[in-house]
Amino acid sequence: MLLNQRNRKAIALGLIFLFATVSSIHGQTQKPVLHGKHWVASTGKPLGATAGAKIFDRGGNAVDATCAMLAATCTMYDVLSWGGETQALIYNPHTKKVYGINALGVAPTGATPEFFKDKDMEFPPRFGPLAAVTPGTPGGLMVMLAEFGSMSLKEVLEPAMQMAEGYPIERQMANGIERQKEWIKKWPYSKSLFLPHLGEEREAPYPGEIFRQPDLLTTLKRLVEAEEKALAAGMGRADAIYAAYERFYKGDIAEEFVRGSREQGGLHTMEDLANWKVHIEEPVMTTYKGIEVYKLTTWVQGPVMLQALNILENLDLASMGYNSARYVHALYQTMNLAFADRDFYYGDPYFPPEEPVKGLLSKEYEKERLKQIERDKNNPDVKPGDPYPFEGGENPFLHLLEKWSNVDTAKVAGMNPQERMEYEEGFFAGTTSIEAADEEGWVVSVTPSGGWIPACIAGKTGIGMSQRMQSFVLDEGKNPYNLVAPGKRPRATLTPGLALKDGKPYLSFAVQGGDTQDQNLLQFFLNVVEFGMNVQEACEAANIASYQMQSSFGTHEATPGRLTLHEAVPPWVRSKLAKMGYRLNYRRRTSGPITAIYFDWEHGSFWGGASNYGEDYGIAW
């Protein structure tokens, strides 16, 4: 019997999928592995990676290079600006420990549920001054550099300062400005900076046009001036960097930031900036088949990956087959359980109530959660569990938990095209990643974000303000730990990863995205550990995406049962998943984009990887 056109296409797609899988296993990736003996520097933009390489070439360590890449990508608005937030994991080869950097801003004075509800808002807004927490990235950069780096602030800011003087803007940002120009026109300092061709058909810069930021350059020069004055007064390297920190958060830079924010309707006060501080933390960790996996705690979504690994460790994943229907189902259901816990229990650990982290990361708790997975169908109403008994406590919010459901938020089907596009962007878009390692043994993994286009510029500072306030909730019933309050951090999606094996660095990995971040990183890790892929194969491999968790952006919607697959998934896998109750859609690329480093201790070298799309770029030596 002759095959009809649809069947022929399905078989062809299946063969493509099988060929792609076999090709990946045999190392036929679209991008080559990045090999290095001395250092690796990678981030979301080629010019940003070059900034890191320049610092390495001048004798800096991986932390110095990371700070230079962070400064450069902020200056390029690679889905972040200087007013955004930074979070990092740092492996110190001298102490043999992993440290967490918490440089997430807090809600300013006056940011209460009542304030936003009085404005008829269901959540804090997506853009503008009222979306902004206090700036975190400048403080995070300076604390990392002072505590773990070896160079001066002037040295690591030099590439960014050159870029602020003027650099050829790349197509992605230039076109992003043009798309968002109606938002940008709402804010005078943003309009002046981003729209040099105001009144013309194209008002944004053209790709390759020299983009200049004189106000930002002045701000960066002031930081360097503070450092140099402190050095001249006899202060040491670290103290001089902290003198620049003081100027940013308590001096003339803070004054102009606050003035510019409040002029445009923001809530920031001098006290908000002065009282905020960076935390150097102990990250959370679990083991998966003897590998130590480190993530930041509940002020981001990092523990989600650890919870998922604790569940999946009880299953024989390799025998299921890479991206088989059984494997996809196991991943999807496991992620939904972990993300349901995230949506109810995660919040700022420096602000009451205290999150039940010990219970959430208990392997016994996850064994109980595993029992809730139905073998042959999707459960559209996965609920948070109760981790409190697994840390010897009683749950104070059982009355809220009984009423909780993510099905109640599933309004996506009725969205108009613009709303649906914004919802999609919330899951996939956002942040950048920075990976760095050196031969001394320093390793850094970072996922900074905030202040993306369309950014509201704070006065004459040249600094784009964060949009992270939108990740708070205004209703205790949605998440009692993530209720907005002055001085509190919103639970963010940003989540670098770092793994040790036999007491030594094994993998460093991060990814661009929103609520997909720990979904992608979980699959990257399993691709290496369970399916034997090298770092580049794992970065390019086809991932799945669930939308059954509540979005951390916009109106916090969930779409139970929706599943994104790679477009080359064969028809027999599609058919089986559809029978399990999944509503399928397909994307041409589903791998992240991920950046990662694998540590080859047998040969004393680094293997760098980056997904085969986007502008992520690495340099090694």
The SS3 call for residue 395 is coil
* Rounded-to-integer distance, Cα 539 and Cα 528, Å: 9
In a domain, 370, yes or no: no
In a domain, 176, yes or no: yes
Provide the residue range defining the domain that includes 132: 47-281+427-502
* Rounded-to-integer distance, Cα 187 and Cα 538, Å: 42
In DSSP notation, 332-362 reads HHHHHHHHHHHHHH---TTSSSPP-HHHHT-
In a domain, 221, yes or no: yes
Task: Work out the mean pLDDT of the chain and round it to a whole number.
Answer: 92
**Residue 88: what pLDDT?**
98
Q: Where are the beta strands (DSSP E) in 15-166?
A: 34-36, 39-43, 86-92, 97-103
Given a cut of 90, is residue 616 above it in pLDDT?
Answer: no
**Residue 11: what pLDDT?**
41
In a domain, 417, yes or no: no
Choose the most confident range, by mean pLDDT, from 3-7, 55-59, 403-407.
55-59
- The phi-psi region of residue 179 (left if phi > 0; otherwise alpha if psi is between -120 and 50; otherwise beta) is alpha
Confidence of residue 78 (pLDDT cuts 50, 70, 90): confident
In DSSP notation, 285-326 reads EEEETTEEEEE--TTSSTHHHHHHHHHHTTS-HHHH-TT-HH
Nearest C-alpha neighbor of 343 from the set 379, 303, 378, 373? 303
Confidence of residue 421 (pLDDT cuts 50, 70, 90): low
* Rounded-to-integer distance, Cα 275 and Cα 364, Å: 39
Burial letters 25-55, b for 16+ CB under 10 A, else e:
eeeebeeebbebeebbbbbbbebbbbbbbbb
Long-range CB pairs of 409-412 (<8 Å, 24+ gap) are 409/550, 409/555, 409/556, 409/557, 409/558, 410/557, 410/558, 410/559, 410/560, 411/555, 411/557, 412/547, 412/557, 412/559, 412/562
Nearest C-alpha neighbor of 205 from the set 177, 224, 234, 166? 177
Given a cut of 80, is residue 394 above it in pLDDT?
Answer: yes
Residue 28 in tokens: 């036929």
In DSSP notation, 536-563 reads HHHHHSPP-EE--SPPSSTT----TTEE
Q: What are phi and psi of 183, to 5 degrees?
A: -65, -45
Given a cut of 60, is residue 326 above it in pLDDT?
Answer: yes
Given a cut of 60, is residue 350 above it in pLDDT?
Answer: yes
* Rounded-to-integer distance, Cα 161 and Cα 310, Å: 45
**Residue 555: what pLDDT?**
87
Signed CA dihedral, 525, 528, 530, 531: sign only: positive
Among residues of the chain, what percentage have pLDDT more than 70? 92
In a domain, 86, yes or no: yes
547, 562 contact by CB (below 8 A)? yes
Given a cut of 60, is residue 158 above it in pLDDT?
Answer: yes
Segment 482-503 shows an average pLDDT of 97
Q: Kindly report the three-state secondary structure assignment for every residue of 80-124.
A: ECCECEEEEEEEECCCCEEEEEEECCCCCCCCCHHHHHCCCCCCC
In a domain, 326, yes or no: no
Give the Cβ contact number of residue 397 at 10 Å: 20
Q: Where are the beta strands (DSSP E) in 383-473?
A: 434-438, 443-446
Segment 195-217 shows an average pLDDT of 97
Given a cut of 90, is residue 9 above it in pLDDT?
Answer: no
**Residue 184: what pLDDT?**
97
**Residue 589: what pLDDT?**
86
Given a cut of 70, is residue 3 above it in pLDDT?
Answer: no
607, 597 contact by CB (below 8 A)? yes
**Residue 460: what pLDDT?**
98
Given a cut of 80, is residue 13 above it in pLDDT?
Answer: no
Given a cut of 90, is residue 416 above it in pLDDT?
Answer: no
Summarised one tens digit per residue, pLDDT across range 449-490 is 999 999 999 999 999 999 999 999 999 999 999 999 999 999
Nearest C-alpha neighbor of 64 from the set 500, 606, 444, 511? 444
Nearest C-alpha neighbor of 137 from the set 178, 181, 187, 83? 83
Given a cut of 60, is residue 556 above it in pLDDT?
Answer: yes
Segment 481-510 shows an average pLDDT of 97
Nearest C-alpha neighbor of 554 from the set 452, 472, 451? 472
**Which are the contacts of 3, defined by CB distance < 8 A and separation ≥ 6?**
11
* Rounded-to-integer distance, Cα 264 and Cα 189, Å: 10
Segment 291-318 shows an average pLDDT of 98
What total number of domains does the chain contain?
1
**Residue 517: what pLDDT?**
94
